[in-house]
Chain A
C-alpha cells in the first residue's frame, strides 16, 4: 500500500460543468476525510466517513456537493454546476479509529474557468 491516492491531480473545468474526484485511502483505515484548501489558507473540513457512513458534512458543503464511500473503501466527491469559487485544492485523508494520525493524499487542484 503506497498511501492515500487521489485522482486526478489537476482538473480544469468550465463554469457550470460537473466534476468528480476520487480518493483511495490506506486499505485498513476506516476513517476518511475530505478537506478543501484555498490559496494561503489551511485546509477546511468538508465531510467525514466512518466506513461507508457519512457522519458529518460541513455547512461549507452546499447542495452542489455530494460525497460517497460505497463499501467503505474508495470515496468520490462530486461538484455539480461548478462555480469559480469552487477553485481550490481538495484534499483527502484517512486514519484508523482511535486517535491515530491522519495520512493525506496529494490533493486534487480544481480550477474553474
Chain B
C-alpha cells in the first residue's frame, strides 16, 4: 500500500467551479507538498506546509496533522488550471519525498 493516497484520481469541472483534491498519508511527516505537473512534464511546487492553511491566489492548501490528511482547493477554476496535481510527503527523519499517484484535473470552458 502506498504511503500517500490521493482522491479522486480524475476530476472534470466546469470553469468557475470549486475543486477539492484530497491527500491521505500513513506515516509521520515533517512537511507535505502540493505539486502541479503540466503535460510537458515539469513539476512546479505549489505549497509546502506542515500545519494549518496556506493560500496563494485561487489556491488554498490545508493540512490536519492529527488526521494525516491534506486538501488542495481551487476556487473559481479556469481551463489553465488543467494539470496533474500531486501530493508528496517528507517522512520524519528522511530526506526524500514519497509521492501520491496524482489527480488529473480537467477544467472545461
Interface residues of A (CB under 8 A from B): 31, 33, 35, 40-45, 48, 50, 56, 89, 91, 93, 99, 101-107, 109
Contact = CB atoms under 8 A, between A and B. Distances in A.
A72 B46 CA distance: 27
Interface size class of B (residues with CB under 8 A): 20 to 34
A42 B41 contact: no
Secondary structure dominating the interface of B: strand
Interface in B20-46: 30-31, 33, 35, 40-45
Interface of B: 4, 30-31, 33, 35, 40-45, 48, 86, 88, 90, 95-102
Contacts, number: 58
B96 A106 contact: no
8 contacts: A35-B97, A35-B99, A42-B88, A42-B101, A42-B102, A105-B42, A106-B42, A109-B41
Secondary structure dominating the interface of A: strand
